[in-house]
Amino acid sequence: GGTVTGAEVTPGEAGALLDRVYAAPDWPATCRLAAADGVPVLETAVALLERWLADPGLAERQRHFEHYHVLGRVLAVGAVEAARETEAFNPVGHFAIADLTRRLDEAASAGDRVVYASDLGVWLVQRFDALGDEADLDRARRVLTAVRDAAPSAPHAAGGLLRALARTEIRLFRSRRDADALDRAIGTLTGALAAASDGEDRAVTLLARGNALGDRYPWQGDPGDLRAAAEDYEAAWPAAAGDPDLRHRILGNHLVVLHDLYRFTGDETARARAEDLRARAEAEPADGAAEPAGPPDGAADAGIPEDAGSPQDAAVEAVQAAMAEEDCTRAVTVLRSELGRLPRHCPRRASHAHDLSALLMRQWRQTQRPELMHEAVAAAGDAVRAGAGTSDEWAFRYQYAESLRERSYLTGALEDLREGRRVLFSAAETLPESSPERASLLGAVSGSHLTEYQRGGDRTELRAAEAAARTQLGLLPERHAERALAMASLANLLRARHRATDDPADLEEALSLNTGALEFPNTDEDERERMLSDRADILLSLHHLGAGGDGDAGGDGDDGYLSRVEEITRALAESSPREEIRRSARITLVEALGSRVGEGDGAAARELIGHGRELLRTGPGVMSLPSLMAHMAAAWLTVSDGAGTRRARVRARRRGHTYYRDAIRLGLSVTPSTAFRAALDLAVRSAGRGNWETAASSARQAVEAAGRLLAEQRTDADRESRLRRVTAAYGLAGYALARLDRPAEAAAVLERGRAPFAGLRATEEHRRDRARLAGLLRRIGTAAGMPPPEPGIGDGETAPLPPLPEGSALVHVQTTDFGTALIALRAGRYTARTLPELRSAELLAALEPYVAAYRDRRDEPAEESHRRWRGQLNALCGWAGGALVGPLAELVGDAAEVIVVPGGLWSLVPLHAAVVPAPSGGRTPAARRLLLRYVPTAATLFRPLDDGTERDGSGVVFVDDPSAGTPDALRAGESERAAVLGAFPRCRTLAGAQARHAAVRSALHTARVAHVSCHGYVNMFEPRESALVLADKDLTVGELLDEPGAARGELAVLSACETALPGTGLPDECTGFPAAFLQLGWRGVISTLWSVDEEWTGRLMGHFYAALTGGLSPAAALRTAQEALMTREDGTVRAPYYWAGFIYSGQ
């Protein structure tokens, strides 16, 4: 054929040549090769087209009509190769439509009209696919419906006509979301089956109806559609015996439907049938021994995915091949090319853009090239625009939202997440209420909210994620496999909430949900393995909580949880075919073994080292590497303890310290939480060996890591949850430095730890440094090398000395697992004393019966519970005197005043009521020997003092019993009222109903003295919720902490119950009304450590205001009042309950 030119070839010769080209196994490649060898394939096709166009009456046109499809394909290939064709729909299609329209008009017989109408319908649908003009669909439906209704007597061609009509109806459904059109398509195909002959014609029709039924399931959610589709595919198989390629498509679709039927309904018969078909698939060849000479009879108009005469076939084939390949470069290239040719709005463009986005996201995950992620988002947006109004619009929007979510990981942009959620909500609006896909969209919404919470720490996002997840769960049928995935997702969400709240109930519910998800038999194996991996993580968290391990764990206590974790993760690490699961299982197993290593288990340490080495070999991921190194370090130190020779011990210890250093160094730049844990672990181990130098150095590294960890938290709620985990580092660093006789550095570290816990604003210089650090961290990113050290106290540095009145002493009290440190500042010089015998365990042992008795008294206010609590209070004061206050008094000597910064749970103890040796012999309350006042942090003392407190009452506000006139009115408020009004007769009084929330908050910003007499309560688990009870609405600690520091008050007297009580969980011992008022701008606060007696409160206030107006400082006036009440007429001392409930905090 090399010598034949396009001008010389006859239509018959052209048709024969095209037949030979199309019969080749890979005809597009044959066209390209033939053209390269000089065979004028393209010229021949063009010449044939020109002859047809020039001579409409050509007698041979009918004989070569079947070459329309072949010619279209050849033109498409030639256009791609030679760039000679620019239209998405080539000229052959336009010619065929015009020619078939004329033939249909001229046809004399019903049979001819059926044939021409069927082919015309096919071409119109193909042109709609390419150009997106819905007028083609409307025209195809009109023509096909008219011919069907007018020519029912042409059974020999009715099958093709009805399939073409059904295909048009399906396109109308997809284009306009017209559910009635889909129902009509299924009905039309049912009619076509009645006219279809046995064999390939019947197989094609059954395949088309099965596909339509499968399309209807996501829309209506009726499993009966899936069962009917499976039956159609079953019947189509024997009818397609003569066409291996058709059989292959039937088999593939049948497997998909059976898989969905099993997943969505749990139908075991569907699962068994799928297994039989998979065996058949292995036995059946994918393609026939020889390709047919042309398009299969009726295939092009039967709704089969392959579309003749369209250049998009290459794109479809490339995408299908890419889905089974690791490398999808070829498919991406083809799709990019096709999108450049397609019009902006057409279904084919939407489909190709959707596929391109998915493939680009796959490439992004493999290569981490940012431009791929941005292109994926753009392609998904293109799909949404091109597919607007179609039945698949929800899927295009879902892909767009997922691409935005993925990009947010790259850029950190929360707006991408929020835009994605808006897209998902709009996608749900495109689906009917009955569609199960609405649940999938809600799952994606939940995941988006969870991601934003993890980025920003806003707990409202966590609550929104939970609401969406629970709604999703409620929409899914009981046996639907997506329900198992939804349960697993909700379990993971509850794990995230547990990390913020430490609430064991979250983990218990997560474990229950995970158990339910694993009971679903119709989940994929990889999904099941992920659920098992999640289960191991939940059990490990329960172990860390110390929760009981009965039930699931199959053992006693939390060790049962640990054993179950090890069992699950060992099995996954050894048998999972997926590297991702094996790696995740090993990481969790290392965490579990690390718990045993912490208890000195040498066998666990050696196993951990083995798994750790395997992870280091395969790569645990940059975020897991610091944690792995920390566990390896602990394991090597444990191995060193059991080593047989000194040389082995030294070698193992050296390796352990090396791993610790690497974990801390890498963790500071990648995961500060891991650096913190590693440094603190090394500090604790060193302290346990008495190596205080290493303990101090490591604890200071933990302090640095803690600072960076806190700087990363974006909300107060998240910062508080982190503070619970970092308190010990500051205490241990201070204690170790005190043991090394470096008290100034110890005080600086303790103070650095106290300021953020109390929620107090530090000095302007400290705030500027923190802002500068935050800006640097934002610019360089946590993974871009070592961030700059946090502004604060470095080795050998000390904090600025706080201003103290002459003769006063400032004492930090910090108790750790290794002892208590007292760090005193007096006359510009720091001194320290350590009490190794007073450890955290001893403090807890003393406090637990006291706190338990107090809670009993609150819950059951009977005389017996009150007497029992007072006995515990007396015992606590007696113990505290010998354990702490006596040594403290010796340390400060003859200081005129002692300012105490009580660390940890010491803020629950009335130190001023502790019984200490009296100078003249015997024992006496500390208040008689020492003038004590409290501050939550020494930063309080930096506030400039304001002179000129107005004693005449101007600027004084008195909140007088907001509950007056109700059953809760204060019973003995007259004496307290008389004391306040006697001291400040011109004060502004907010009494009863006047003491409203807004009025009181406003007064606290302007008053110089405030006396609040009301009811109050403390929430010892969530101290920000502790409150003063006002007339209309409670005033909480959290509200005051969130206020800008605009007040300039001198003294706030909170004469309400429990206003000095903090939370009992670290670090909330600093969070309470005293810290809140000091942060708000008040110089000093008087508050209560328990529910004080109203009568004795009135007496105390009378003595207090008399001393205050007589010229004493608030702290001295309070001590004077307490001394007046503590001493009976016979000189004996009353119990602390009557006089010691009030404390003074501040300047």
**HEC per residue, 588-630:** HHHHHHHHHHHCCCHHHHHHHHHHHHHHHHHCCCCCCHHHHHH
Question: Strands across the sheet with 1035-1036, in order?
Answer: 1016-1017, 1027-1028, 1035-1036
- CA–CA distance, 1147 with 1135 (Å, rounded to integer): 28
**Do residues 837 and 754 make contact, with C-beta atoms less than 8 angstroms apart?**
no
Phi, psi of 1035 (to 5 degrees): -100, 115
- 1037 domain-assigned: yes
Q: What ranges in 860-971 are assigned the alpha helix state H?
A: 863-880, 886-892, 926-929
Q: At 141, which amino acid appears?
A: R
The Cα angle at residue 1134 between residues 1131 and 1137, in degrees rounded to 5: 165
- How far does CA 639 lie from the centroid of its chain? 37
- CA–CA distance, 482 with 223 (Å, rounded to integer): 14
- 68 domain-assigned: yes
- 618 domain-assigned: no
- How far does CA 488 lie from the centroid of its chain? 14
Bridge partner residues of 957 (DSSP)? 988, 1010
Bridge partner residues of 831 (DSSP)? 824
Peptide bond into 1067 cis (omega under 30): yes
pLDDT at 296: 29
| DSSP secondary structure letter of residue 476 | S
Cα→Cα distances 196→201, 212, 400, Å = 6, 18, 42
CATH of the domain at 357: 1.25.40
**Do residues 941 and 850 make contact, with C-beta atoms less than 8 angstroms apart?**
no
Three-class SS of residue 477? coil
- 806 domain-assigned: yes
> Would you tell me how many other CB atoms lie within 10 Å of the CB of residue 404?
25
CATH of the domain at 1026: 3.40.50.1460
Among residues 934, 963, 995, which one ends one of the domains? 934
Query: Cβ contacts of residue 324 below 8 Å, gap of 6+?
Result: none
Rg, the chain, Cα only: 40
Among residues 70, 86, 102, which one ends one of the domains? 86
**Do residues 597 and 641 make contact, with C-beta atoms less than 8 angstroms apart?**
no
Burial class (CB in 10 A: 0-12, 13-18, 19+), 367: exposed
Query: Cβ contacts of residue 650 below 8 Å, gap of 6+?
Result: 640
Bridge partner residues of 1133 (DSSP)? 1127
**Do residues 865 and 857 make contact, with C-beta atoms less than 8 angstroms apart?**
yes
The Cα angle at residue 1110 between residues 1108 and 1114, in degrees rounded to 5: 20
pLDDT at 14: 60
What stretches in the chain show pLDDT beneath 50?
Answer: 1-7, 58-67, 69-70, 73-74, 76-88, 154, 156, 286-312, 548-556, 756-795, 945-953, 1066-1069
pLDDT at 51: 58
Q: Phi-psi region for residue 50, left (φ > 0), alpha (ψ -120 to 50) or beta?
A: alpha
- CA–CA distance, 121 with 161 (Å, rounded to integer): 8
- CA–CA distance, 723 with 718 (Å, rounded to integer): 9
- CA–CA distance, 1107 with 1113 (Å, rounded to integer): 8
> Would you tell me how many other CB atoms lie within 10 Å of the CB of residue 232?
25
pLDDT at 782: 33
Q: At 218, which amino acid appears?
A: P
- 105 domain-assigned: yes
| DSSP secondary structure letter of residue 1134 | P
Cα→Cα distances 176→170, 182, 413, 530, 868, Å = 10, 11, 34, 39, 77
Query: Cβ contacts of residue 180 below 8 Å, gap of 6+?
Result: none
pLDDT at 500: 74
To which H or E segment does residue 577 belong? none
pLDDT at 1053: 92
- CA–CA distance, 1116 with 175 (Å, rounded to integer): 84
pLDDT at 38: 60
981 and 1111 both lie in a single domain: yes
pLDDT at 48: 59
SS (H, E, C) 548-564: CCCHHHCCCHHHHHHHH
To which H or E segment does residue 1051 belong? strand 1051-1055
pLDDT at 23: 58
Query: Cβ contacts of residue 931 below 8 Å, gap of 6+?
Result: 896, 897, 898, 1115, 1116, 1119
886 and 901 both lie in a single domain: yes
429 and 353 both lie in a single domain: yes
996 and 1120 both lie in a single domain: yes
240 and 348 both lie in a single domain: no
| DSSP secondary structure letter of residue 272 | H
**Do residues 678 and 699 make contact, with C-beta atoms less than 8 angstroms apart?**
no
Q: What ranges in 39-133 are assigned the alpha helix state H?
A: 41-54, 67-82, 91-106, 110-131
Cα→Cα distances 960→159, 973, 977, 995, Å = 92, 9, 7, 7
**Do residues 1009 and 1051 make contact, with C-beta atoms less than 8 angstroms apart?**
yes
**Do residues 353 and 339 make contact, with C-beta atoms less than 8 angstroms apart?**
yes
- 782 domain-assigned: no
Bridge partner residues of 1088 (DSSP)? 1142
The structure tokens listed for 1047 are 């007040």
Q: 59: domain range?
A: 1-86
Among residues 150, 168, 195, which one ends one of the domains? 195
Bridge partner residues of 989 (DSSP)? 958
1003 and 1095 both lie in a single domain: yes
**Do residues 721 and 810 make contact, with C-beta atoms less than 8 angstroms apart?**
no
Shortest CA distance to 248 belongs to which of 259, 258, 236?
236
The structure tokens listed for 421 are 């959620």
The structure tokens listed for 667 are 């963790």
- CA–CA distance, 1056 with 1012 (Å, rounded to integer): 7
Shortest CA distance to 937 belongs to which of 712, 1060, 754?
754
Shortest CA distance to 754 belongs to which of 934, 905, 898, 902?
902
- CA–CA distance, 847 with 851 (Å, rounded to integer): 6
**Do residues 927 and 1118 make contact, with C-beta atoms less than 8 angstroms apart?**
no
1065 and 971 both lie in a single domain: yes
Burial code (b: 16+ CB inside 10 Å, e: under 16) for 677-691 equals bbbbbbbbbbbeeeb
- 669 domain-assigned: no
1023 and 988 both lie in a single domain: yes
Strands 956-960 and 988-991: parallel
Shortest CA distance to 456 belongs to which of 777, 668, 667, 718?
718
The structure tokens listed for 1134 are 């009353």
64 and 189 both lie in a single domain: no
Burial code (b: 16+ CB inside 10 Å, e: under 16) for 459-478 equals bebbebbbebbebbbebbee
pLDDT at 118: 84
1004 and 1122 both lie in a single domain: yes
94 and 74 both lie in a single domain: no
- 786 domain-assigned: no
Q: How many domains does the chain have?
A: 6
The structure tokens listed for 223 are 């499993």
Phi, psi of 1081 (to 5 degrees): 125, 0
Bridge partner residues of 833 (DSSP)? 822
pLDDT at 206: 92
103 and 48 both lie in a single domain: no
Bridge partner residues of 1016 (DSSP)? 1028
The Cα angle at residue 666 between residues 665 and 667, in degrees rounded to 5: 95
| DSSP secondary structure letter of residue 992 | G
The structure tokens listed for 985 are 């007769």
